[in-house]
Amino acid sequence: MSSYGGNSSQIQSVPLVSFLFLFLWMLSSSSSLVVSVVNNNGCNKPAVLFVFGDSNSDTGGLVSGLGFPVNLPNGRTFFHRSTGRLSDGRLVIDLLCQSLNTRFLTPYLDSMSGSTFTNGANFAVVGSSTLPKYVPFSLNIQVMQFQHFKARSLELATTGAKNAINDAGFRDALYLIDIGQNDLADSFTKGLSYVQVTKRIPTVIIEIENAVKSLYNEGGRKFWIHNTGPFGCLPKLIVLSQKKDLDSFGCLSSYNSAAKLFNEALYHSSQKLRTELKDATIVYVDIYAIKNDLITNATKYGFSNPLSVCCGYGGPPYNFDVRVTCGQPGYQVCDEGSKHVSWDGIHYTEAANTWIASKILSTAYSTPRIPFGFFCRN
């Protein structure tokens, strides 16, 4: 081991005292406080969630679907084994599930888990994007997988299967969408110019709108949409970028500018969908603002250099080498992951994810400001 340097007016926001308790939980790394705090705000029935996205939310889909190995030290902090998550521990979606006192979501593709999927399913897979349409596992493929899952679940429910999700369960479930980063980042890494990348944004937004409408037509009424983070601050992308247009924090300006344009379009899209889907609740969450605050004020929140990778190779300033990535022969891993924001150059540490989840649960970054557990109320 090496060490180195809806109707928002009818739903109340999480009280300040609850957020303070939540923040204390974050510092102590205990999940029990967040569970009790959020449940006290009104989660009155079992939560059912369906997640669509990429590696930021993949709880093992890449491993179970393609057999791709994700080795230790991934998973070392919380699970003490590799679970297919690209982090040292829990992802944001895991922490959000814990806030509702529900089990971690099982990947839809995991037929070996023995799960009955009573609390939903995770369709997110590493590397996913909204485009192109028919490359696994793009967003429309994930939606098609959901449609198959729903049809099979309803079929089982009609036979009297106790653990199958019924029609009411699908109607009351939360549909979380967290995708789009790969569409932008991969375009840059393939050599597209800033203008070429940003011209693709409307097409990506249309795909997300189509996904929401398809899920709505399947009975979904409660949606939680994350925008994309400042991917210009991801160490891997900084290292691989040919044009180092760095800002004062060491992040790629053009990449983050594209992220902001995407987020602005997604915000307006969410507003439009609220007017079109009259009885739907659509919450837009500003993940960019949360992560940008963490990265630009890392030391203030108890983290070290946010652009330095915990698990990688190469030493300062990034400790990233695309030839020796985390879990591959020759990698090095930091002793204190809790001090790092970046786990492997793309994904975050559990400590950073915990901080991010606490901000999401505060409702301060949500439009409208609705608590995460709104969908599991009677």
Q: Which domain holds residue 115?
A: 45-298+353-367
Residue 49: enclosing H or E segment and its boundaries?
Answer: strand 49-53
3-state SS assignment for residue 52: strand
C-alpha dihedral, 138 to 140 to 142 to 143, nearest 10°: 170
- Rounded Cα distance between 107 and 178, Å, is 15
- Rounded Cα distance between 263 and 192, Å, is 19
Tens of pLDDT along 273-293? 999 998 999 999 999 999 999
> What does the mean pLDDT of the chain come to?
88
Residue 88: DSSP 8-state: S
Residue type, 216: Y
Active-site residue among 58, 172, 344, 362?
344
Verify whether residue 344 is a known catalytic residue: yes
- Rounded Cα distance between 258 and 188, Å, is 10
Q: In the sheet that 222-226 helps form, which strands lie side by side, from edge to edge?
A: 120-122, 49-53, 174-178, 222-226, 281-285, 366-367
Structural domain contains residue 245: yes
Structure token pair of residue 337:
């992951």
Active-site residue among 321, 338, 340, 347?
347
Q: What is the pLDDT of residue 248?
A: 97
Residue position matching structure tokens 């653990």: 163
Given a contact cutoff of 8 angstroms between Cβ atoms, the answer to whether 64 and 286 are in contact is no
348 phi and psi angles, rounded to 5 deg: -95, 160
Given a contact cutoff of 8 angstroms between Cβ atoms, the answer to whether 25 and 149 are in contact is no
Structural domain contains residue 109: yes
Active-site residue among 55, 82, 187, 269?
55
- Rounded Cα distance between 142 and 30, Å, is 33
Structural domain contains residue 22: no
The domain that holds 101 is classified in CATH as 3.40.50
If one counts the domains in the chain, the total is 1
Verify whether residue 55 is a known catalytic residue: yes
Structural domain contains residue 150: yes
pLDDT of the chain, 378 residues: tens digit per residue? 333 333 333 333 333 334 333 433 444 443 443 443 344 345 778 899 999 999 999 999 998 888 888 999 999 999 999 999 999 999 999 999 999 999 999 999 886 655 679 999 999 999 999 998 767 889 999 999 999 999 999 999 988 888 889 999 999 999 999 999 999 999 999 999 999 999 999 999 999 999 999 999 999 999 999 999 999 999 999 999 988 999 999 999 999 999 999 999 999 999 999 999 989 999 999 999 999 999 999 999 999 999 999 999 999 999 999 999 999 999 999 998 899 999 999 999 999 999 999 999 999 999 999 999 999 876
- Rounded Cα distance between 227 and 263, Å, is 6
Residue 273: DSSP 8-state: H
Give the residue among 28, 100, 40, 60 at the shortest CA–CA distance from 360: 100
